[in-house]
């Protein structure tokens, strides 16, 4: 069997233990630079040894009990922008560090991982929590934003409870407590903190508002005052299409009697007192219409 056929047969990952009669040939191919050994007895085609897709297959083939964690789990769950720099996983065997592969020893509760296409990896809730020390609330906010059943926050709390005593859990717990107000971005989370600290009540976050048959999810809404707060910022909204959509949405809300205040990340972080004063003034000005 030639090398090309062997790679095709093995989905690009060749385990020497599965091809004992070919061991010497595998070594020769590696010596000639046609194959690269990424782990002991495991070869991939030259040029693919740094590709995270290939390395995921390497770990899955070599260690079938491995459960992918961290950025690797996030990527496998569909967060395509969270590309793993290192392939991280947990398994029952010894810890391994080789190139971009990091395997740690340990076990995980069955409820915090799932299996797809022969790969085991953390559930979206557990993956989001796993990365809180590195990425903050980004993935948690993504889950809340796409929650269609209202069960994501419960899943997140269960995932946290399944790994007590873990490093970083204090930060994770604080973030989940703040998430009870349903922020969909770091900027919204910061705004909620300001509102709570100022003792301003009567608001909800990303609560649907329907006008002219259109459904909107304002960042913060004071229904009684018909006041909406929107947080803008390059890090959270960008692109011409989004800009145009936001303006059309605001026009619809305004002509239906809503006041819309647009806040920026810089306002929230550099002039929080000014933001609170602006919101209080708007609430007072809307009071006669209550």
- Domain residue ranges of the chain, discontinuous segments joined by +: 1-47, 50-178, 186-289
pLDDT for res 140: 95
Q: How confident is the model at residue 273 (pLDDT cuts 50, 70, 90)?
A: very high
pLDDT per residue as tens digits for the range 33-74: 999 999 999 999 999 999 999 999 999 999 999 999 999 999
The mean pLDDT of 20-32, rounded to a whole number, is 93
Neighbours of 118 (CB within 10 A): 9
pLDDT value of position 290: 45
- Between 281 and 81, the higher pLDDT residue: 281
Residue predicted with more confidence, 148 or 32: 32
Predicted pLDDT of residue 147: 87
DSSP string, the chain: --HHHHHHHTTTEEEGGG-GGGHHHHHHHHHTTSEEEEETTEEEETT-TT-HHHHHHHHHHH-TT-EE-HHHHHHHTT-TTS--SSEEEEESS--EEETTEEEEE----GGGEEEETTEEEE-HHHHHHHTHHHHTTHHHHHHHHT-SSS-HHHHHHHHHHTSTT-TTHHHHHHHHHHGGG--SSHHHHHHHHHHHHTT--S-BSS--EEETTEEE--SEEETTTTEEEEEE-TTT--SHHHHHHHHHHHHHHHHTT-EEEEEEHHHHHH-HHHHHHHHHHHHHHHGGG-
According to CATH, the topology of domain 186-289 is Endonuclease; Chain A (3.40.960)
pTM (2 d.p.): 0.80
- Tokens in use for 14? 């060749």
- Provide the pLDDT for residue 233: 63
């Amino acid at each position: 069997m030639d090398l090309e056929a062997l790679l095709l047969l093995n989905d690009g990952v060749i385990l020497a233990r599965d091809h004992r009669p070919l061991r010497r040939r595998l070594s020769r191919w590696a010596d000639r630079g046609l194959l690269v050994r990424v782990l002991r007895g495991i070869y991939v085609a030259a040029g693919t040894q740094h590709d995270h897709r290939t390395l995921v297959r390497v770990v899955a083939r070599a260690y079938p009990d491995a459960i992918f964690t961290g950025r690797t789990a996030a990527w496998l769950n569909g967060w395509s922008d969270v590309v793993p720099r290192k392939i991280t996983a947990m398994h029952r065997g010894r810890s391994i560090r080789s190139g971009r592969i990091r395997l740690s020893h340990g076990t995980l509760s069955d409820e915090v991982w799932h299996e797809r296409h022969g790969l085991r990896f953390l559930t979206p809730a557990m993956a989001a929590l796993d990365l809180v020390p590195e990425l903050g609330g980004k993935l948690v906010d993504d889950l809340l934003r796409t929650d269609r059943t209202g069960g994501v926050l419960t899943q997140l709390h269960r995932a946290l409870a399944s790994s007590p005593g873990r490093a970083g859990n204090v930060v994770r717990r604080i973030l989940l407590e703040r998430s009870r107000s349903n922020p969909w971005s770091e900027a919204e989370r910061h705004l909620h903190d300001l509102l709570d600290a100022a003792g301003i009540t009567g608001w909800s976050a990303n609560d649907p508002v329907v006008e002219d048959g259109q459904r909107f999810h304002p960042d913060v809404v004071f229904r009684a005052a018909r006041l909406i707060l929107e947080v803008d910022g390059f890090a959270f909204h960008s692109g011409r299409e989004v800009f145009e959509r936001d303006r059309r949405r605001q026009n619809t809300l305004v002509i239906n009697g809503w006041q819309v205040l647009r806040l920026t990340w810089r306002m929230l972080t550099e002039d929080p007192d000014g933001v609170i004063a602006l919101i209080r003034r708007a609430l007072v000005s809307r009071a006669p219409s209550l």
